[in-house]
């Protein structure tokens, strides 16, 4: 996540065919706020917005990340195949 947030700050989007949410997040970085907290056993990511459409994108992104954490590369590949 730190690399994605750095790229957002530097306006350096990248092609990420496994995600439908990431391109939208890069296209509208000012519509949401990002916070990254390092924990002793991992990391906590908080993304918020007052824009209803961006809230939906944030939720979609969370579902994508959750699938990737649970299923690994097969989840990514399914995302690439459905794009």
Write out the residue range of the structural domain in which residue 28 sits. 2-82
Query: Which pLDDT score, from 0 to 100, does residue 28 have?
Result: 93
Closest CA to 62 of 32, 41, 38: 32
- The number of folded domains in the chain is 1
Report the 10 Å Cβ neighbour count for 43.
Answer: 10
User: Which residue would you say has higher pLDDT here, 34 or 4?
Assistant: 34
Position 41 pLDDT exceeds 60: yes
The whole-model pTM stands at 0.74
């Amino acid at each position: 996540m730190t690399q994605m947030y750095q790229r957002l700050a530097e306006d350096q989007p990248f092609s990420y065919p496994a995600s439908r949410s990431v391109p939208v997040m890069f296209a509208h970085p000012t519509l949401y706020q990002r916070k990254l907290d390092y924990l002793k056993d991992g990391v906590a990511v908080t993304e918020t917005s007052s824009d209803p459409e961006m809230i939906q994108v944030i939720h979609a992104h969370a579902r994508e990340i959750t699938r990737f954490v649970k299923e690994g590369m097969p989840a990514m590949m399914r995302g690439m195949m459905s794009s």
